Amino acid sequence: MKTENSGRVAGRVALIINEVVGKDAKRKVTAVIDCKADGDKYDRIVPVVGFGKGAVALEGIAEGDAVEMEVYLGGREWNGKYYPDIACKSVRVLAMAARPGANAAPVGKADNGLDAADDAALPF
């Protein structure tokens, strides 16, 4: 049996969240991709995270862009609970959204509304 943990995510970028996490102050970028197709009754949003090279790959995208991503599927167990991860391997922009002017606020800066203290106990 050959195992596989990769896949593809395609859709429109709904949100970009830039964070600094961990004791080493590593950069983390989360791109929330809206994969909802015409006629779908429910939203189909997929958060794709990028650390290191994955964060660099996500730098070139903006909210509203149509993208296709190659991803790694993974997860972690902590205290008997499982946490899935979808990590960016590469990204291709299929159609760019209009970019703001030079004096506009940067696209992609977002407050995720979560209290950092809630995540302090997680080991990752």
What are the chain's domains? 6-97 (2.40.50.140)
| 100-112 tens-digit pLDDT | 764 454 444 444 4
Residues of the chain with pLDDT under 70: 101-124
Q: How far apart are CA 94 and CA 33, in angstroms?
A: 13
**In this predicted structure, what is the pLDDT of residue 9?**
95
Q: What is the mean pLDDT of the chain?
A: 83
Note the pLDDT of residue 42: 86
Per-residue pLDDT, 119: 59
Question: Which tokens belong to 57?
Answer: 């790959």
